[in-house]
Structure 1
């Protein structure tokens, strides 16, 4: 009898595990995703007292978009995240839309007590009642503060601190301290342009200027901006990131950026042409962490509004990109924003293999060398041949995700047309392309693969692509292909161990 009961118990245990695996087979293993329900834009990203805080647009009652809250997660390394209790709930002023957070070191807001600098969140209140009335004034900016390192929040009694002047899309404040004039600068998305405001105390705001009516891409509404300086060749260059939906280079949501000068009032771009932050389909609402000094770390929402509500994940929807260090690089006389994986990701590396002077003519199978049952890995290589080549991720059911370089077009690409489940949205299973911006003869690539995503960093981050996909089984097979033949001068492969812990 005991043996029968034990057998039944073991069978139930096995079935439970299999059901869990099937239920969460697309779960990212080292990208942040909520335990359950809907997530979109990263919000309020800030570093304070040794902890990185990630807030995010969250709907706790369903896995499709709904009344927005601020979810909350914390990390000491931007790699391993712990989901915390919800930080901000909707109230009589509306849903809690996107925004930012700052450490008010000088207590300009007056919220600090006993010498403790407050964390101050600046966010958009979205009022659904006013939206139905079509007043055009249903979005406005409010603030909240925390004196216990983000564990609890008190909304300011004087909200909203920035009323809506009559602009339908009036949202996503990114606030930072402008030291030369000792004031806060708010970079705000206002329909199809950016408006800058300033404040001495985070409570009273003055309009300074606007930018963008005649610059960049205008295929959709402008959202989730960011503004920060980076030193480049001894000069301070200001970076203005503007996310846009739709109108991206490969359809739907994407992020563009402008480089220029900022004097505390006006942003003057070097060029009004569009530069793209990421040419893939799945890096949106990307902004940087605050309070990180001269280091600028970007994190985005790894999805696209074309299909975000339809992706076949359960019981959650959406994940974030890996954190990325930003810098600037000149190519000829043009300056570009570059992004590379943060060095903290290296802590997740597991033993792999490396090889020099690898000849690829036809197909080279790396599956046995990799010995990777999870499909989680990092691949770095460089080649001087500049001939067509492809990196293929595959599995036993015939799914293939192809990442490659097309010499004739001088383009990188990710083709997810045969990557697994694609029928949930007619445009999902397509090939995405990105221009090669580097002029050097050597092509260098870094590829980061998780259970349901790839992130490509080409030529030291000059060209970046992020795409999600949904394979039937883990992509445990790996090939490199080239019809005309290439020599990979240096190849390094390492596995990546999971970092996500779901309580």
Structure 2
């Protein structure tokens, strides 16, 4: 969507099935006024994919430039290779295909979803989801990955990246997909990730909840590497603060409210384990920070409610050995977001204890370990008919 004068222009995919269950996909449009009234356009903006592409044609990303509007749309060739098609319009009504973005051949998979383009320090950064990406390209574990690609320049009119860098995984955790990114009016690149993977069953499915969204993250580049960190306003959620007090190489904070944050600095060559549990300690999420070997590992095997076992229950980030590691671990009931070394790596996922996360244990070789915990303000809660409490 884009603000145009005093309205919002919305471009979206109509992804439907015919009577004989064949997929049809087309790009549709709508306008929303300041009272949130939506008027759908009567005719598709783009009625079908061009010749040579299948009906896997969806997820438009709208971009405004000085001379018009571009849309990047996820696509699939008839030979089942992922693609991103670039369309142009002067007036948001008539759209013409400029061609296929020159995404490297090993980065395409069999279809591409959710392309998003932002600029950071004048460099184009493409976020996208190549389903079926070869494990030989990047050894990811999730059913589908969310990747990013940085380039030196981008000519949208020619659909050409200049010198695209190495393909990199956006999030090293379990459940990030379909990340959406924009350049804010002040120029910052901001992103929100969908925490939930397609074709995976989650414990919340039986309660009719379909996943959730991450915190809003600011994206920055340093030496060609993408850093992600929660926007500064997230700090306003902090309330009660606790210092970690270690006794016999263990520190425990109890009676937390389910939404809290841990800042932890582990010196070089030390190893510390963080456990997130409920009051009964009937299950736990475990985060191991190994500054000896340069690793952070998250283990959700023992939470008490396992899922997606086929894709592994541990994830690991490799860092530089024998160096200090900093983590910012944010827990929000059934979500964790772990920001490592000021956002150099991020690990995000879902975990389901039998009760509210309310205990945090830190243990290990704690010499010179520095840690602080904050509780967070919680959303307004509302009771529902089945006597469960759900967050608005």
Instruction: Please indicate, yes or no, whether the TM-score normalized by the shorter chain is above 0.5.
Output: yes
Using a 3 Å threshold, how does the CA distance of structure 1 residues 474 and 429 change in structure 2: closer, same or farther? farther
**Does structure 1 residue 398 correspond to structure 2 residue 282?**
yes
Structure 1 equivalent of residue 241 of structure 2: 352
The within-5 A match list for 1:277-356 is 277-289=170-182, 291-308=184-201, 311=204, 314-330=207-223, 335-354=224-243
Whether contact under 8 Å (2:176, 2:194) holds in the other structure is yes
Deviations 1:223-244, CA, capped at 9 Å, x for gaps = 101011111xxxx111111123
Deviations 1:96-142, CA, capped at 9 Å, x for gaps = xxxxx11123xxxxxxxxxxx321110111130188347xxx21211
Q: What is the distance in 2 between the residues matched to 1:258 and 1:477?
A: 39
Whether contact under 8 Å (2:14, 2:28) holds in the other structure is yes
User: Which stretches of structure 1, 4 residues or more, deviate above 6 A after TM superposition?
Assistant: none
Deviations 1:247-301, CA, capped at 9 Å, x for gaps = 5822213310111111232342534532111111111111124653312221111
Structure 2 equivalent of residue 472 of structure 1: 354
Whether contact under 8 Å (1:302, 1:319) holds in the other structure is yes
Structure 2 equivalent of residue 498 of structure 1: 378
Deviations 1:325-379, CA, capped at 9 Å, x for gaps = 111122xxxx111111122222221111236xx779x741222xxx433232111
Structure 2 equivalent of residue 164 of structure 1: 49
Whether contact under 8 Å (1:386, 1:443) holds in the other structure is no
**Does structure 1 residue 185 correspond to structure 2 residue 70?**
yes
Q: CA deviation at 1:193?
A: 1.9
RMSD value, Cα: 2.7
Whether contact under 8 Å (1:416, 1:429) holds in the other structure is no
Using a 3 Å threshold, how does the CA distance of structure 1 residues 501 and 478 change in structure 2: closer, same or farther? closer
Given candidates 190, 200, 204, the residue that maps to 2:90 is 200
Q: CA deviation at 1:440?
A: 9.2
Q: What is the distance in 1 between the residues matched to 2:104 and 2:249?
A: 48
Q: CA deviation at 1:309?
A: 5.7
Whether contact under 8 Å (2:297, 2:314) holds in the other structure is yes
Deviations 1:160-208, CA, capped at 9 Å, x for gaps = 43532242211100001123xx211111111212121111111111222
Using a 3 Å threshold, how does the CA distance of structure 1 residues 429 and 407 change in structure 2: closer, same or farther? same
| Higher-RCO chain (CA-CA 8 Å, sequence separation at least 6) | 1
Whether contact under 8 Å (2:291, 2:323) holds in the other structure is no
Structure 1 equivalent of residue 79 of structure 2: none
Structure 1: which 5+ residue stretches go unaligned? 1-100, 106-116
Given candidates 477, 480, 487, the residue that maps to 2:368 is 487
Q: Which moved more, 1:210-219 or 1:253-262?
A: 210-219
Q: CA deviation at 1:317?
A: 2.7
TM superposition score normalised by structure 2 = 0.85
Q: What is the distance in 1 between the residues matched to 2:171 and 2:341?
A: 13
**Does structure 1 residue 411 correspond to structure 2 residue 329?**
no
Using a 3 Å threshold, how does the CA distance of structure 1 residues 339 and 425 change in structure 2: closer, same or farther? closer
Structure 2 equivalent of residue 276 of structure 1: 169
Structure 1 equivalent of residue 250 of structure 2: 364
Question: What SS is found at the alignment partner of 2:120?
Answer: strand
Structure 2: which 5+ residue stretches go unaligned? 77-81, 134-138, 383-391
Whether contact under 8 Å (1:385, 1:486) holds in the other structure is no
The within-5 A match list for 1:33-44 is none
Deviations 1:7-59, CA, capped at 9 Å, x for gaps = xxxxxxxxxxxxxxxxxxxxxxxxxxxxxxxxxxxxxxxxxxxxxxxxxxxxx
The within-5 A match list for 1:103-252 is 103-105=3-5, 117-129=6-18, 132-133=21-22, 138-149=24-35, 151-166=36-51, 167-168=53-54, 169-179=56-66, 182-191=67-76, 192-212=82-102, 214-219=104-109, 221-231=111-121, 236-245=122-131, 247=133, 249-252=140-143
Question: What SS is found at the alignment partner of 2:212?
Answer: coil
Deviations 1:49-83, CA, capped at 9 Å, x for gaps = xxxxxxxxxxxxxxxxxxxxxxxxxxxxxxxxxxx
